[in-house]
Structure 1
C-alpha cells in the first residue's frame, strides 16, 4: 500500500470530498488494525486503539502538508496511541486483562490465514517478544512485505534510520530465539518437559531466557533437523490479517457492546470531525461493514440495498412483519430497482442440482480494450468493456506461489448496468481438489497455505459470468495473495453449456444461475461508477 498512490485521494479528503475521506478510511483501516493487533498481541484494547488512531488521523488530516508522507504519518499516530495506552494502564491492569484474553493476535494470524510449518512458527514466536520488540516487529513485518520503507519505519518509531537498523537487528535476534522456543515446545524433550512443569503457560521474558538457556545446552532441542528459513522470507508470504467479522460494528457503537452506544461513540465523534474546517461538510456519519463510513446529507436518504441471502435465491426475503399491501406499480418499482440486490456471502448449492434456465438478454456485442482475450496477472492490469453482452472472468488462484489475504479485483467507471448472472467452471474455488490431501481446495492447502477472502466477500467460482449494458473497467488489484484473471466476452450459449455440465461429466458441481431476467439480478461486489485513483479502495458493498 503505497502512500504516494493516494496523493489525489488525500488531497481531495483534505478539501472536504466525502467519498475521498470514505475511501481513505476504508483503504488504510486494515493496515492500522494489523500494526496495532501485532503490537498489542490481540489485547482487548486493540479495537479502542485502532478507533482512536483513525479518529486522530481524520481529525488532523488538514495538518498533513505532504500527502506522500501519509503512510509514515499514520503509522506514527498508531505507535503513539499504542505507547499512550501502555502508559495509561498499570502493570497490574495489563496482567489482569492479558489473563482474560482467550485469543491473542498470533493465534488469530495462524487461524485466519491458516498458516502451517515455519510460517506458523514465526507468527507464534511473536508471543515471546517484549512489548517494545512487538511494536517494532509490527512495523518491520510491513517493511519486509513491501508495505513500509525503512525510512517510514524509523519515522513511525521516532528514531534515526541508523538507530532503527540496530533496533531491528536486535529484535530479529530475539525473534529467532523465540522461534527456537516454539519449535522446542512442539517437541518431546524430557528435560524441557520437566523444566516447563513449573510454567503457567504464559510467555514472558523470564521464561524466554530460561527456555533459551535450556535449548542452547540441549542436544535434542538444539537439533534443527529441518533447515530454518530466514524470518524475512517467511513474513513476505504472510499477508495482512483480514478485519474480524463485526469489527467495524463495535466502532459504530463506540465500544465493545451496544450498551456503549449511549455515550458519545465513533459516529458522533466522526460527525464532530467532519464539521471542522479541514473536512467541512454538513452531514451525518455512519460506519459500514467495509471498515469505512458513509456520509449522507440529512435530506437525502441512502439507497436501499438488499443483500442476497443464499446462492439459490437472489430475491429479498419478505420482512417478518407484513407491510400494508402496496399498489402493483409500487411493488414493481421496488423489487426491480437496479442495484437493490448486491452479491453477498452464500452457501454452496447441492452439487448434483442442475441450474435454472438462464434468462435471455439482448447481446449486440462487446468491445474490449485488451482484444479478444485479456490475461491479467499483475496489480494494475485492467480491461475496459463497452457495449451489450456477456463477460467471462476465469479465476487462477496460486497459493503455491504466495498465499495470504486476497485483494479482490474491482469494477470502476460503470456507465449503464452490470449484473452477476451466473457461476460455473465445474467448481467453487473452496471445493476440495484432491482425493488424497483432505486439506487441498482451490484456495490452497496445508502445505502451501490458504488464500483468504476479505470478510463478507462472496466465494468465487472457477468461472464467473457477468452481463454488461454500457461500459466498465475491471482492474486486477493483487496485493498479498497471488492470483490471475482471464477475462473475455462470451455468449449465452457458452454459459449454458458450462453451467449445465455436472458431476456425471467429471466436474465437481453444476453451475448456478443468478440472473432473474430483471433489474433485481444481483450486482457484483466491488463496483462503482466513480474512478478512484486506487481501484483497490472500491467498497465491497456496491452502490450503483
Structure 2
C-alpha cells in the first residue's frame, strides 16, 4: 500500500490547536501517529515485552513537550527522534536477562506479528522473519529504513533520528542491508532440505543469536545446496514497498491522562508504574480524560481528499480500494493489447453526456513496438503558457510546486534516481484545476521502464535495475515516459510529492511543434522507440492521473482516479 503523511496546512493547524490545549486536536495527533511509533518501536525491539511501555513513554513525552516544538513541519522527525531515544534509553537501562526468560517475552515477536497481521507470503515473509537474526543496533536502523523504503520517512529523517549525517547513514544502511541478506539466507536454509544442515544445527536451541548467525552463515557460504537458493532472490527494498504498517494490536489503549480511569483500570492494560505516574501530570491544559482507543481498528490505506492527520486511517472492516504496489516494477501486464491507454469508467453520474469531460487512465498501458509510428497529434489552440517557475522549473524535493496558467502545451520531464534512493514512488499531482487539462502525448524516445543499452545493468536511469535498486509505481499507475506532454486551457498547480524513491521533475512551457517533433523521433534517430499520442482532439481525451479541481491540504493525498 502506498503510505503518506499529512505535513501541510492541516497538520500545522492540528498541531497548533493541540499546543493551545484543544483535546480533539490532541486526540487526532496521537491517533494519527501512534501506528508509526508502534511499528518503529516494535520492529526495533522485535516485539519484546517492553514495546508497550516504550511506545506509551514516547507518546507521553511527545505530548508533554509539544509546546516546545517551534516548527510544526518538523513534527514527524521530532517524534521519530523521541522514539529512538526511548529505545536507546531502554537498552541502557535494561539488565541482562536469562535467555529462557527473553524467549518467553518473544513468544509472539514482531516478525511473527508482521507476517500474521499483514498476511505476508514468499520472500516478503522471509524478510520479516530475517529481522530476528539481526543485532539490536541493526534492528533499530532497519525499523527506520523499512519505513523509508515504504515512503513513511525520508533519508534526512532517518539520519536525524539516529543522530548521524546522511552520508554516514547511507554507509550504515548498506552494512545493515548486507547483514539482512545474510539473515534472509539463513531463513531460506532453515526451511530447505540441506542434508548437512541438520548436523550443523543439532545442538541449536532454536533461538536466533549472533553466534548461530555466524555459524549458519559460514555453512551457507560453503554449501552448494544452500547457496544455490539465492539465485532468484528479490532485493529487500523491492519487497518492503508493498508492506503496510502493522496495525496497532487489539487491546492497546493509550490514555494521555487518567481522567475517568482508575489506576487499577489503567494498570489492567499493562501500564508500568512509571507510566502511571506520568499520567497524573497533564501535559496540555485540557488533556484530562483524553483517550485514544487503538485496538486493531487502524490500518494505513490509500489517501483520500479529506484524511485525518498523518495518514488515512480506516476501520479494518472497510472495503476501501487498495492500490497494492507491485513487487516487480518491470513492464506490468496490460489489460489490453492496445498501445492506447485504457480509460477508466465514465466520470461521476452527476455529469451529463453534454458536459462529459475527460477520462482517467488508471491501468498500465503497453509500450508500443519500437518501430510503431504514433498517430496524428491534434492541433489545439495555443496562446501561450506562463509558469511561476519560469521557462524551466526544476523540482527536486517534496512540496515544490509550479503554477501554470494560459492556453497551450506543457512538458514534464522525468528523472528517476533509484540509485540514490529506491522504493515506492509517490506520484506528482495536479491540483486546483480551473478550466481543462489533457494528457496529450508521451515522448523522449523511451518509457521509463525501457532498459538503456550500455549501462552496467541495463538501466542507467528510469525504473532501476538489480544493481542499483528499483523505483516501484503504485498499482495501476500509468507508466510515464521520459517526456510527458499536457495541454492546459486555464490554470493548475503541479506539485512534486517525492517520498520513498528519489525523483525530479523539470517543467517547460512548450508548443505543438515541439510535441509533434518529439513523438516523431524514433529509433532511426537514436531513440529507443517512437512517442505515443494520447489526445483524441475532443473533451473526452485523457486527463492526467492524480488531478483534481480541489486544493487539498496535502497534494500527495490526491486519489489516483482523478476528480475533474
Contact 1:386 1:471 in 2 (8 A): yes
State how 1:274-293 maps to structure 2 within 5 Å: 287-289=320-322
For 1:8, the equivalent position in structure 2 comes to 10
SS class of match (1:474): strand
- Check if 1:145 corresponds to 2:155: yes
TM-score normalised to structure 2 length: 0.55
For 2:259, the equivalent position in structure 1 comes to none
For 1:126, the equivalent position in structure 2 comes to 131
State how 1:226-305 maps to structure 2 within 5 Å: 241-243=240-242, 287-289=320-322
State how 1:303-314 maps to structure 2 within 5 Å: 311-314=339-342
Aligned CA RMSD, in angstroms, stands at 6.0
Aligned mates of 1:29, 1:495 — CA distance in 2: 48
Counterpart of 1:385 (choices 390, 400, 404) is: 404
For 1:529, the equivalent position in structure 2 comes to 549
SS class of match (1:451): strand
1:348 Cα deviation from its structure 2 partner: 1.4
Counterpart of 2:420 (choices 376, 380, 401) is: 401
Alpha carbons of structure 1 residues 130 and 448: separation in structure 2 relative to 1, 3 Å = closer
Contact 2:389 2:403 in 1 (8 A): yes
CA deviation digits over 1:85-109, x for unaligned, max 9? Answer: x999994999999799642547569
1:430 Cα deviation from its structure 2 partner: 0.4
1:476 Cα deviation from its structure 2 partner: 2.1
For 1:256, the equivalent position in structure 2 comes to none
Counterpart of 1:448 (choices 457, 468, 483) is: 468
Alpha carbons of structure 1 residues 362 and 265: separation in structure 2 relative to 1, 3 Å = same
Counterpart of 1:431 (choices 450, 470, 476) is: 450
TM-score normalised to structure 1 length: 0.57
1:520 Cα deviation from its structure 2 partner: 1.8
Paired residues in the alignment total 415
Aligned mates of 2:15, 2:542 — CA distance in 1: 31
1:359 Cα deviation from its structure 2 partner: 1.7
Aligned mates of 2:122, 2:470 — CA distance in 1: 20
1:401 Cα deviation from its structure 2 partner: 3.1
Alpha carbons of structure 1 residues 184 and 518: separation in structure 2 relative to 1, 3 Å = closer
Higher helix share: 1
Alpha carbons of structure 1 residues 176 and 28: separation in structure 2 relative to 1, 3 Å = closer
Alpha carbons of structure 1 residues 71 and 182: separation in structure 2 relative to 1, 3 Å = closer
Alpha carbons of structure 1 residues 144 and 492: separation in structure 2 relative to 1, 3 Å = closer
- Check if 1:361 corresponds to 2:366: no
For 1:210, the equivalent position in structure 2 comes to 212
Aligned mates of 2:241, 2:387 — CA distance in 1: 33
SS class of match (2:386): strand
Structure 1 stretch 361-370 or stretch 207-216: which is displaced more? 207-216
Gaps of 5+ in 1: 43-52, 78-85, 110-123, 154-160, 162-170, 222-234, 252-263, 268-273, 277-283, 292-306, 319-329
Alpha carbons of structure 1 residues 35 and 459: separation in structure 2 relative to 1, 3 Å = farther
Contact 1:128 1:204 in 2 (8 A): no
Aligned mates of 2:46, 2:217 — CA distance in 1: 25
1:29 Cα deviation from its structure 2 partner: 11
State how 1:112-191 maps to structure 2 within 5 Å: 126-129=131-134, 134=139, 137-139=142-144, 145-147=155-157, 178=179, 181-182=182-183
SS class of match (1:361): coil
Alpha carbons of structure 1 residues 240 and 473: separation in structure 2 relative to 1, 3 Å = farther
State how 1:334-349 maps to structure 2 within 5 Å: 334=353, 337-349=356-368
SS class of match (2:485): strand
Structure 1 stretch 370-379 or stretch 414-423: which is displaced more? 370-379
Contact 2:428 2:494 in 1 (8 A): yes
Aligned mates of 1:31, 1:538 — CA distance in 2: 21
Aligned mates of 1:498, 1:196 — CA distance in 2: 62
Gaps of 5+ in 2: 18-24, 48-54, 84-101, 164-171, 224-234, 248-295, 300-305, 309-316, 325-333
